[in-house]
Each structure stands twice: as structure tokens, then as C-alpha cells.
Amino acid sequence: MVKKSMAAANEKVSNYVPDEITYSILSKLSLKSLKRFECVQKSWSLLFENHFFMNMFRNNFLSNNNDPSSFILRDFVNYDEEVFYSFSGERFENNVQLDWSSSFENRVPTQTIKPLPGSEAQSIERCILKEDVGWVYCAVECYAHGFGYDPVINDYKVIRFVNVHLESSVQDMEEEMITLDLDRFRLRNYTGFDPFWEIYSLRSNSWRKLHVDRPYSLESVDDTHVYMDGVCHWLCRYYETVEPCLVSFYLSNEAFFKTPIPSYEDDCFDIKGNWIKLAVLNGSIALISYHEETTIFHISILGEFCTKESWTKLLIVGPFTCIERPIGVGMKGEIFFIRKDGELVWLDLSTQMIAELGYIGNPVHTRPIIIHK
């Protein structure tokens, strides 16, 4: 009887795991795994409403990336002279002005530059002859959406959206009509003027048209495009009837996926003054937004593609009444912004503290170009 009682007692003890230990283990998992474990028991489905657990999860999430960051700052002196500064170190304490020529070829060592060839769309001259309306102006606009490595075939690729459109008829074209080869530029020699996607392969050193219709962004600005693990991602603010979304493009199989943006970020797309960016934080796609009216930053991470509900608000930081405007996001989630006194500062998400960079820049043109090590 004694042995049976002891065995029963030991079994009861071994089956019980204190919440503190459970939370400690779960807080070290990825967001995707946590979302899947929500169905194990009811208390786990409420983990993201538990402040104790979320503090543990945030601390683990933000402390896992120990790689040093660095960035190059681009600024203008007297609004016309371009200058560059390099910031590096654990807290960006190393500040060096770069002696770069104003010519692009001399900014980066020549061997690191790979000029991309023109594509079919770019071969169209600015003026072409359409037989029913005469001479028209042809505008070709290319919007880069992603650059990254395809591990399946060991290739580097670029994907972009091409918008080819015709303006109104060009008047007084006599001189250009004399100098142009009319047969070469007749409209029938081009297949069409509908917008399209194309992809560049470094291995073949050529562009290829993609026969797809997917959301695009005509706002090809800093920090709205990121690359992670063979996938290019970009923010699509407005696209016909499609709500704001994250678009993901797999470089290997050339498949597109769309993930709606969480509803609590809608005002960042509707109000011009607000600011929203993409980043890669600890192996997760992160959405970082600044709400100008409240001077608060919201940081959300994505658990699973194509699922709107998998966005989880990781952190709310602020208010910061000293902010003039945010200008960029670093590798570990550092948020760079211009203070109202003109000082360039950064916000460390781990400590939620603001640190100065020892630089006063042009409040209109200063912006960092993030380079990760």
C-alpha cells in the first residue's frame, strides 16, 4: 500500500508544471509556433492577453539578435551638397564622415556594382507613331519591389513593376519625325501597354516578363520593402479594391501571397501624416508605425502569411512629444528620428530609451541608408 501511494503521489507531482515554468518555455518559441499551440488548452489561447507572459516574450524576442548594426546617413548641406556619414558600434558611437565622390561610380568600389541591362519596356523610345492618332509620348516607369537570393538555384534576382502608359498626342514633332526611323518605332512592334511584372536573373543577366496580376506599390520608398529567407515583401497601400496588405513574393517558385494589414493600423494608410514601415526583427516580419497625433510607435510582428489574425502587437512605445519625424528602422528594430531641436536620435526597443547620435542634420532631407553586418 505504501509503495502504491508513493507512486500515485509521484505521478501527480510529475504531471503538474507551474505556470512560471510553462510561460518561460513558451516565451522562447517563435510567434508562429505559439499561434499553433493556442489550441492545446484554453489558458494558452489567452497568452497574448497575459501581461506577465508578454513581458517575457518581448524580452526574449528583442534580446535574441546580438549582431552589431551600422548605417550610412545621407544628408544635404545647404540643400544641394550631398554628404554621407557612417555610424557603427554597439550604440552607434563611431561617427565618421565618408569621403565619397559625388559621382555614383565612385561611391562604391567598382567591383561591387552590377549595372542591370535594359528590358523590353525600356527599349521603347519616348515618342512612337500610332497610326490612328499620330505621334504620342510614351512614358516607362519602373518600380523596384524586391532584391534577394534564390537558394534553390543559387541566383540573385530583382523583381519590379513596370507601368507603360501613353500621354496625349505630341504636337510640333516635325524635327523629331525627320530624325527617327519610323518603321522602328511603329506601335505594332510592341505587344501592349498594360502594366506588368518582370524579374531579373543574375545568372542569365536578363529580364523576363511575369504573367501575373498582383498588388503593387507605386511608393518605392525606404523601409517599405524587405527580404527574408528567399522571399521579398512589400507594403501595398492602395490597389483598386484590395485593402492595405503585405505582399510576399517567393523568388524560387515565383508565387505571390497577400496578407491583410491589421485593422488597428488602418489610420496609417488613411492619414498622410502618419508613418508605417517594414522591418525584419529576429526572423519575423515586423510592421512599425508612428501615429503623429499621439506620438506613439506601434510594433507588430507577423506569425503566419496570408492570415490577418496572426499579426500580434509586440510593443507600444511612447508618447514622444520631442519627435519632429521618424526617418528609418535598423536591423534590431532601432527607430531613427529627427528631434524637434534637429538632433538625430534613435530609440532602442529593448530598453525603450532614446539616445543621441551626436549629429544635427537637415530636417527635410536627412535619412539613413541602413547597412547590416
Single residue among 172, 190, 213 that ends a domain in this structure: 213
Same domain, 103 and 130: no
pLDDT, position 164: 74
Same domain, 178 and 108: no
Domain assignment of residue 165, yes or no: yes
Same domain, 133 and 169: yes
77 vs 175: CA distance, rounded Å = 41
Mean of the pLDDT values across residues 105-126?
Answer: 64
List the domain range (segments joined by +) for residue 197: 119-213
Same domain, 144 and 196: yes
Percentage of the chain surpassing pLDDT 90? 17
What are the strands, taking DSSP E only, across 251-348? 256-260, 275-281, 284-291, 296-302, 311-317, 323-329, 335-339, 343-348
Number of domains, the chain: 3
Domain assignment of residue 54, yes or no: yes
Same domain, 134 and 188: yes
Going by C-beta distance under 8 Å and a sequence separation of 6 or more, which residues neighbour residue 197? Answer: 159, 160, 161, 162, 209, 210, 212, 214, 216
Domain assignment of residue 176, yes or no: yes
Domain assignment of residue 160, yes or no: yes
Single residue among 213, 234, 255 that ends a domain in this structure: 213
Domain assignment of residue 359, yes or no: yes
Same domain, 74 and 49: no
Single residue among 196, 213, 230 that ends a domain in this structure: 213
pLDDT, position 364: 65
Domain assignment of residue 26, yes or no: yes
Same domain, 72 and 41: no
Same domain, 107 and 139: no
- The string of pLDDT tens digits covering residues 16-64 is 778 888 888 888 888 888 888 877 888 888 888 888 899 889 888 887 7
312 vs 24: CA distance, rounded Å = 19
Cell numbers that stand for 119 in this block:
528590358
The number of helices, as runs of H, and strands, as runs of E, in the chain is: 7, 21
Q: Look at the chain and count its residues.
A: 373
pLDDT, position 233: 94
Same domain, 71 and 126: no
Same domain, 128 and 205: yes
Domain assignment of residue 315, yes or no: no
Same domain, 71 and 147: no
Answer whether residue 177 shows pLDDT above 50: no
pLDDT, position 137: 60
Answer whether residue 7 shows pLDDT above 60: no
Which helix (H) or strand (E) segment is 182 a member of? Answer: none
Same domain, 92 and 108: yes
pTM over 0.85: no
Domain assignment of residue 350, yes or no: yes
